[in-house]
Structure 1
Amino acid sequence: MTSETRTLYSQLPAIDRLLHDSAFLSLRDRYGHTQVVDLLRRMLDDARDVIRNTQTLPDWYADWAQEAKLRLENAAQSALRPVINLTGTVLHTNLGRALQAQEAIEAVTQAMRAPVTLEYDLDGAGRGHRDRALATLLCRITGAEDACIVNNNAAAVLLMLAATASGKEVVVSRGELVEIGGAFRIPDVMRQAGCTLHEVGTTNRTHAKDYRQAVNENTGLLMKVHTSNYSIEGFTKTVEEAELAEIGRELDIPVVADLGSGSLVDLSQYGLPKEPMPQQLIAAGVSL
């Protein structure tokens, strides 16, 4: 450490002295002692980094209170900022996906204002099931026998695999081993669920016979993954869900489908690309 660096370090104020400054007293009143002290420690660390890297004091050195005020105000702001979606992607995952209908917003607001029967059965005067009401609606819309509501698609796939094929093989086309946002990869999700991946076909072509030939005594599932975030064009061949479901029935093996960005509504009527819908796949014979 050079003498110049030591001199600069020595000019940094003590936290206790800053706290007794009148400007910091008002910040402590507004944000609390602990939060202000934590911030000052970070500011001192930042100042030391500036000195170490540039041999100068930080730009805000002359007014610690103003810098602290700006940082505290920024930290107090919500991370969720309104934006205008100009990405070209109508339902953008990183921008909150689909907007909610006004009726849904009002229903959520009302439910948050007072106690509700989230997990209480009034008729039985005892504990109920928190996903029952929504599951009933989903079953009515999709034709499914039952439903489980989770936070995201990767969680749904993990639970689906773990519940039905843990310790067994899951047969899936090599061209459908996708990675979605957040680095969720189908092979990794399978591994976490305790399943063994059994790839069939090639990147661009997979036939019905590939699934049939892959089945053995340890096969737990046949899996179809909708490649919603990319497409393979040209010399290609895939096995559609209805055909795979028929193979599953013949061999008495459940067939599961990962819809990815599947929709409950036919978006093509609004001029958007058509996406597979759960009700269509269930009608075609897909198990989950």
Structure 2
Amino acid sequence: MDMADSAPSPLRQLPAVATLLASPQAVPLLEAHGRIATTDAIRAALEGARHALRSGAAAVPDIDALLVSARSQLEGRPASLRPVFNLTGTVLHTNLGRALLAEAAIAAATEAMRHPVALEYDLEEGARGERDDHVRELLRELTGAEDATLVNNNAAAVLLCLNTFALGHGAIVSRGELIEIGGAFRMPDIMARAGANMVEVGTTNRTHAADYRNAIDANTGLILKVHTSNYRIEGFTAEVSARDLAHMANTAGIPLLNDLGSGSLVDLSAYGVTREATVREAVAEGAHLVTFSGDKLLGGPQAGFIVGSRASIEAINRNPLKRALRVDKMRMAAIEATLRLYRDPDRLAERLPTLRFLARSRDDVAAQAGRLRDRVAAHLGETFRVEVGMCNSQVGSGALPLDTLPSAALQIHPNGSQRTLDELAAAWRGLPRPVIGRITDGALQLDLRCLDEADEHIFLSNLTGRA
């Protein structure tokens, strides 16, 4: 018999999974990634080796080579939810997580994660407490409302209010306010899920007080006013103010729910942004309930706030849905810390990233672009041309949809084909810390409004894959 015929198959020479796991070289992988992930990576490395041998590879990989392959797989699986550079020009970018938290909020959330906290424990009485108590007084102080509560986002806040006061009853709303926002969120769908009977009044562009009055009957649960946060109707238009609707609702003995959407606790015009009615002003107009978001113009974590009359808030807190929509201890800690910043308005923009980004001047952003241009151009080489260009940023998340903020950007033009630019954008999305810009007018535009000066060196190092 030919000795070559009796030689074991190369596939049979591959070590077993158990052998690889038991080797000293596997210890660092097990310690870093755990047994399950390491075992899966070793199996994948062995399958890759089998495929190579079947395809004609001459050498059987040894234990070291197989474990190097396994380590590459383990370390090549970055977390899916990881930091990116938001250079899109949209400050509150829904797809990139909206508002960045203030350092005080980050510290508070970290402490809540690290330690037990008095979330629902009354330290003075030594008995069970209410989690809303941590922010109730702050919200009353900042909005002028009699009472306040909160849930996990503003859609939940609207749903909870509708379910509390209009379950099986009519909810009167103007046709011009039946909004749809990102993610196919439609107000009619929320009203249906809340169990409310939607009663549309007026037309798309004009709704009058008589339209509301004529729709009120014995089955009416509430009147709903919705802020058209991501669009504006202009021209031949008419709408009824929240103040007039509140008077009408009081006369009829039904509540008015005013959904502000983003909602701001301060006058944004002080930061160079177009003025929007504040939550305090909405409360003063007489609405029984006002809802607004925490992670948009307020600059905090995702949350939905409900402020209004004491009787209305008490009714909402008795709704069993409230428990299903409540926030956890980490978010509660971050919310409380964020709201506390508003008690010191003189230093608010300094401490709150959202306001700091919104308030940046074009000159400031342009100066930053000038500092970075040569370094980025040197990194890209002759394939691209890098210029400093003027552009306009957006607030984002449906806030101030027609307003832009004068800004500046690095504009990267290809010296070759458009495909080269697409490839660059894809490559930068694959960096250790992905860089997200936008392609417009034949250039990859990196609006630097949301790049802190302290992060410039991290941005540059990241381009070489060393971040």
- TM-score, normalised with respect to structure 2: 0.51
| Aligned counterparts of 1:258 and 1:201: Cα–Cα separation in 2 | 18
1:226 corresponds to which residue?
A: 227
Q: Cα offset for 1:76?
A: 5.0
Q: Cα offset for 1:98?
A: 2.8
Q: Residues 14-25 of structure 1: matches in 2 within 5 Å?
A: 17=16, 20-21=19-20
1:144 corresponds to which residue?
A: 145
Q: Is the 8 A contact 1:170 1:196 kept in 2?
A: yes
Q: Is the 8 A contact 2:17 2:39 kept in 1?
A: no
Partner SS, residue 171 of structure 2 = strand
| Aligned counterparts of 1:174 and 1:121: Cα–Cα separation in 2 | 46
> Aligned AA for 1:80?
R
1:163 corresponds to which residue?
A: 164
Q: Deviations along 1:242-264, whole A, 9 cap, x unmatched?
A: 12112112222210011111111
> Aligned AA for 2:215?
A
> Aligned AA for 2:110?
T
Partner SS, residue 139 of structure 1 = helix
> Aligned AA for 1:31?
H
| Aligned counterparts of 2:190 and 2:89: Cα–Cα separation in 1 | 30
- After superposition, the Cα gap between the structure-2 partners of 1:40 and 1:163, relative to the gap in structure 1 and judged at 3 Å, is farther
Partner SS, residue 222 of structure 1 = strand
Q: Is the 8 A contact 2:41 2:71 kept in 1?
A: no
Q: Deviations along 1:169-198, whole A, 9 cap, x unmatched?
A: 101111111122232211111111111111
Q: Which of 16, 26, 32 is the matching residue for 1:30?
A: 32
Q: Is the 8 A contact 1:261 1:275 kept in 2?
A: no
> Aligned AA for 2:232?
S
- After superposition, the Cα gap between the structure-2 partners of 1:67 and 1:166, relative to the gap in structure 1 and judged at 3 Å, is farther
Q: Cα offset for 1:68?
A: 4.5
Q: Cα offset for 1:16?
A: 8.2
| Aligned counterparts of 1:227 and 1:269: Cα–Cα separation in 2 | 23
2:81 corresponds to which residue?
A: 79
- After superposition, the Cα gap between the structure-2 partners of 1:260 and 1:64, relative to the gap in structure 1 and judged at 3 Å, is farther
2:416 corresponds to which residue?
A: none
Q: Is the 8 A contact 1:18 1:24 kept in 2?
A: no
- After superposition, the Cα gap between the structure-2 partners of 1:238 and 1:123, relative to the gap in structure 1 and judged at 3 Å, is same
Q: Cα offset for 1:66?
A: 5.6
| Aligned counterparts of 2:45 and 2:177: Cα–Cα separation in 1 | 49
Greater RCO (CA < 8 Å, at least 6 residues apart): 2
Q: Deviations along 1:111-168, whole A, 9 cap, x unmatched?
A: 4443332211122111111111211110111111211111211011111111111111
Q: Cα offset for 1:108?
A: 3.4
1:69 corresponds to which residue?
A: 71
Moved more, 203-212 or 178-187: 178-187
Q: Cα offset for 1:82?
A: 3.7
Q: Residues 261-280 of structure 1: matches in 2 within 5 Å?
A: 261-280=262-281
Q: Is the 8 A contact 2:46 2:66 kept in 1?
A: no
Partner SS, residue 94 of structure 1 = helix
| Aligned counterparts of 2:101 and 2:33: Cα–Cα separation in 1 | 34
> Aligned AA for 2:253?
D
Moved more, 108-117 or 20-29: 20-29
Q: Residues 240-255 of structure 1: matches in 2 within 5 Å?
A: 240-255=241-256
| Aligned counterparts of 1:183 and 1:143: Cα–Cα separation in 2 | 33
| Aligned counterparts of 2:43 and 2:110: Cα–Cα separation in 1 | 39
Identity of matched residues, %: 52
Q: Is the 8 A contact 2:243 2:285 kept in 1?
A: yes
> Aligned AA for 1:208?
A
Q: Residues 160-239 of structure 1: matches in 2 within 5 Å?
A: 160-239=161-240
The size of the alignment, in residue pairs, is 269
Runs of 5+ in structure 2 lacking a partner?
Answer: 1-9, 49-54, 56-60, 290-467
| Aligned counterparts of 2:11 and 2:235: Cα–Cα separation in 1 | 66
| Aligned counterparts of 1:154 and 1:86: Cα–Cα separation in 2 | 28
2:257 corresponds to which residue?
A: 256
Q: Cα offset for 1:19?
A: 5.8
Q: Is the 8 A contact 2:41 2:70 kept in 1?
A: yes
Moved more, 105-114 or 268-277: 105-114
| Aligned counterparts of 1:121 and 1:192: Cα–Cα separation in 2 | 35
- After superposition, the Cα gap between the structure-2 partners of 1:277 and 1:39, relative to the gap in structure 1 and judged at 3 Å, is farther
1:3 corresponds to which residue?
A: none
- After superposition, the Cα gap between the structure-2 partners of 1:124 and 1:215, relative to the gap in structure 1 and judged at 3 Å, is same
Runs of 5+ in structure 1 lacking a partner?
Answer: 1-10, 47-55, 57-61
Partner SS, residue 147 of structure 1 = strand
Q: Is the 8 A contact 2:17 2:43 kept in 1?
A: no
- After superposition, the Cα gap between the structure-2 partners of 1:77 and 1:239, relative to the gap in structure 1 and judged at 3 Å, is same
| Aligned counterparts of 2:43 and 2:155: Cα–Cα separation in 1 | 39
Q: Cα offset for 1:39?
A: 5.5
| Aligned counterparts of 1:274 and 1:159: Cα–Cα separation in 2 | 29
| Aligned counterparts of 1:135 and 1:42: Cα–Cα separation in 2 | 53
- After superposition, the Cα gap between the structure-2 partners of 1:68 and 1:201, relative to the gap in structure 1 and judged at 3 Å, is farther
- After superposition, the Cα gap between the structure-2 partners of 1:100 and 1:27, relative to the gap in structure 1 and judged at 3 Å, is closer
Q: Cα offset for 1:42?
A: 8.1
| Aligned counterparts of 1:17 and 1:125: Cα–Cα separation in 2 | 59
Higher strand share: 2
